[in-house]
Amino acid sequence: MILVLGGTSDSLAICDELNKDVNKSYILSVTTEYGKDLASIYSKNIILGKLTKDDMVAFIKENNIETIIDATHPYAVEVSKNAIECSKITNIDYIRYERKSLIEDITYKNIFVVDDIDEACEIANEKGNTIFIGTGSKNLNQYIEKVPNKKLIARVLPTSEVLISCEKLGLNGDNIIAMKGPFSQCLNEETYKQYKIDLVITKESGVAGGFLEKVLACEKLNIPVVIIRREKINYPSVIHDIKQITLVL
């Protein structure tokens, strides 16, 4: 049995590949109801909820898991670290699907590549007034705290849970764009123009996350971009092509 750690469109594409092979039985783990709804099209064997390290070890043993496929978000580093450790504890295989980094492919010069949100906020305070937060809803509280006296525009998933969390942070309809991506370069350009954005903060999310489309839109409008790079993890085994997944199992 395979345990697929999901939460991205990549994980659904991996499930699609596994579905083509009748010998590849798997369980898909997701953390949100929204993720479960999306995943239900691809898999009938889904577990919902966050797995702690102890939870994961117990689950592996109870379900005779032989391989973990880690297709979590590139920035969900704690989950990946736990999964690696759990694979060692239980002596099973671990495979990481990692989106290819696109930073080296960018030719636009008006970019600032940083290691964390603190550095991103320092640049935002210095260079921005109306700042587009393209990193999702998870860490919005940090931007609100560390970038005061600026107008923040956050693009987030259009779910009630996310919108309520935004409102609790003091954001309202003037600060929230509730849409599901990925987004085209054209749509990003129109969004930046509509909201008079003068600085964009994004993560190095890869092709599936619409990363280049955000940067290209900024280049077209000459808007500076702050890119939060991924934390480097020493994965035991990594693939960058979803089509390879059944070949390495």
What does the pLDDT read at residue 246? 86
Handedness of CA 215, 232, 137, 153 (dihedral sign): negative
Predicted confidence at residue 104, as pLDDT, reads: 81
Looking at domain 2-99+232-248, its CATH architecture is 3-Layer(aba) Sandwich (3.40)
Distance CA 176, CA 95 (A): 36
pLDDT over 80 (residue 4): yes
67 Cβ partners below 8 Å, 6+ apart? Answer: 2, 3, 92, 93, 94, 95, 249
| Domain ranges, ordered by start, for the chain | 2-99+232-248, 103-228
Given a contact cutoff of 8 angstroms between Cβ atoms, the answer to whether 228 and 86 are in contact is no
Residues in contact with 133: Cβ distance below 8 Å, sequence separation at least 6, in sequence order: 140, 143, 152, 153, 154, 155, 201
The highest-level CATH class for domain 103-228 is: alpha beta
Where does the chain have alpha helices with state H?
9-19, 33-39, 53-62, 77-90, 117-127, 140-146, 160-168, 185-194, 211-221, 245-248
Per CATH, 2-99+232-248 and 103-228 having the same topology is answered yes
For the cut 80, the answer to whether the pLDDT of residue 208 exceeds it is no
Burial, 189: exposed, middle or buried (Cβ in 10 Å; 0-12, 13-18, 19+)?
A: buried
The three-class DSSP label of residue 4 is strand
The phi and psi torsions of 15 (rounded to 5 degrees) equal -60, -40
pLDDT, tens digit, 9 for 90 and up, residues 73-125: 888 899 999 999 999 999 999 999 988 888 888 999 999 999 999 999 999 99
What's the whole-model pTM score? 0.78
Assess contact for 131 and 152: CB atoms under 8 A.
Answer: yes
Q: How far apart are CA 44 and CA 57, in angstroms?
A: 22
C-alpha to C-alpha distance for 140 and 126, rounded to whole angstroms: 19
Backbone angles phi, psi at 169, to 5 degrees: -85, -5
Query: pLDDT tens digits for 112-161?
Result: 999 999 999 999 999 999 999 999 898 999 999 999 999 999 999 999 99
Q: Specify the residue for token string 């702690």.
A: 52
Per-residue pLDDT tens over the stretch 34-62? 889 989 999 989 999 999 999 999 999 99
Q: Are 75 and 65 in contact (CB under 8 A)?
A: no
